[in-house]
Structure 1
Amino acid sequence: MFEIIKAGGWVMWPIILCSIVAMAIIGERFWSLQRRLVVPKGLVPQVWKWVKEDKLDKKRLAALRSHSPLGKILAAALVNRNHDREMMKTSIEEVSNQVVHDLERYLNTLATIAEVSPLLGLLGTVTGIIRMFAGIGEVGLGNPTVLSSGLSEALITTAAGLTIAIPSLVCYRYFRGLVDELILLMEQEALKMLDVLHGEREP
């Protein structure tokens, strides 16, 4: 493996750095964007039970806020539960923007890696070809080692760049779709809670 990296030249090092960052982001997002952590099942009925039994104090609101992204949205609405529906809806929208930002954390970085990695591979291709022609200029066409070293640098960096870019792009698209799905679920749950509190929906 080290010999392949060495043959790829200095461009391999930023490509390897991109791969490490991409793997870290993908692992972290797979863990953080689990549905059970973002939109816990049964949270809305539990909150409604607290409201109905008049047990929704500051301590429970603080626990709800730190419980999950959905909990943070519900807590924002419940803090203003004595106000009208529009005020509660505005509070939900304000906190939702922050929650969406948290759910999309690192995704721009992952998209950047997906775009930059093939360009780094292309840069390696160019430097490999330059090295190959420089070698030809020095020793002529009689030494196949000079040709093979420049050509291997070009091919290795191109392959390495694409190897990082393809899974990064696939994961980025997957996470974007997952975030959109989770946002929709949270909005539905929050509106359900809103309707129940204002008597527009059965608990």
Structure 2
Amino acid sequence: MSLIQENLTVDSVNSVQQQAVALATTDENLNLIELLMKGGWIMIPIIFLLFLALVIFFERYITIRKASKTDSGLMSQIKSNVMSGRLDAAIAVCRSSNSALARMLQKGLARVGRPIKDIEGAIENAGKLEVSKLEKNINILGIVAGIAPMLGFVGTIFGVIQIFRDVEVAGGIDIGSVSGGLYVKMIASASGLTVGILAYIGYHVLNMMVERVILRMETDSVEFIDLLDEPGV
């Protein structure tokens, strides 16, 4: 009789092990897309926000990188032309260089002969316009960073409400169903937080890049104003 009980015990252990292996295999076969889709309808706006953030980040990153490229010969050419009294040639150099700095200096060169304050004002206004072009749509990343986590929490809350509604209808608590339902609904929160963190990082990376471009533009514009203050110009 004890031998039979021992065999039954071994069979039960083997059965549990087989079920565990099958469950693990099922979990491994669950790919990322299927896992995300278990988060419910709230995943649709979260995925849209992720796509929007990626498009804005890479578009702005490429644009700012182009604007940050320094033309080492630009200031030297402008300086030599201005010192020689060839303002038209200096303006032509600015027009041939498709950069924010060149467009700023062109505004200043067009006002040479007027008071320095007027030239500084023209360069400053042109600089503000160029900076606004660089910062275009960057604030949307900040909005995404704030909205995405909240959407994730909303999705999780609605999921939890649905779980307890099902418990009420069933008239009892099934720990397996509740824990499994919570695991699925927490996907929305994790996804929202991930998108929010990525958007937050992208927002600050782009702002730091813009600040470096602004610093270089300010440095070169000060050098240009000092050039105009030199005797003989």
Q: TM-score, normalised by structure 1?
A: 0.87
User: Structure 2: how far apart are the matches of 1:75 and 1:195?
Assistant: 16
What residue is the counterpart of 1:38 in the other structure? 68
The code of the aligned residue for 2:173 comes to L
User: Structure 1: how far apart are the matches of 2:184 and 2:81?
Assistant: 65
The code of the aligned residue for 2:133 comes to D
What residue is the counterpart of 1:63 in the other structure? 95
- 1:168 paired to 2:193: no
The code of the aligned residue for 2:185 comes to A
What residue is the counterpart of 1:144 in the other structure? 176
Query: Partner of 1:141: helix, strand, or coil?
Result: coil
Gaps (5+ residues) in structure 1? none
The code of the aligned residue for 1:11 comes to I
1:96/1:55 CA distance change after superposition, 3 Å: closer
Structure 2 contact 46–151 (Cα < 8 Å) conserved: yes
Could you say which structure has the larger radius of gyration?
Answer: 2
The code of the aligned residue for 1:45 comes to S
- Aligned-residue offset at 1:38: 3.3
- 1:101 paired to 2:127: no
What residue is the counterpart of 1:194 in the other structure? 225
1:120/1:151 CA distance change after superposition, 3 Å: same
Structure 2 contact 107–123 (Cα < 8 Å) conserved: yes
The code of the aligned residue for 1:37 comes to A
1:142/1:170 CA distance change after superposition, 3 Å: closer
User: Structure 1: how far apart are the matches of 2:175 and 2:187?
Assistant: 21
What residue is the counterpart of 1:11 in the other structure? 42
Gaps (5+ residues) in structure 2? 1-31
User: Structure 1: how far apart are the matches of 2:204 and 2:33?
Assistant: 32
User: Structure 2: how far apart are the matches of 1:160 and 1:74?
Assistant: 46
What residue is the counterpart of 1:72 in the other structure? 103
What residue is the counterpart of 2:156 in the other structure? 125
Structure 1 contact 8–157 (Cα < 8 Å) conserved: yes
Which has the higher mean CA deviation after the structures are superposed, 149-158 or 45-54?
Answer: 45-54
User: Structure 1: how far apart are the matches of 2:91 and 2:105?
Assistant: 14
Query: Partner of 1:156: helix, strand, or coil?
Result: helix
User: Structure 1: how far apart are the matches of 2:77 and 2:146?
Assistant: 44
Please, which of 154, 159, 164 is the counterpart of residue 190 of structure 2?
A: 159
What RMSD over aligned residues (CA atoms) do the two structures have, in Å?
2.4
Structure 2 contact 138–203 (Cα < 8 Å) conserved: yes
- 1:183 paired to 2:183: no
Identity in percent:
27
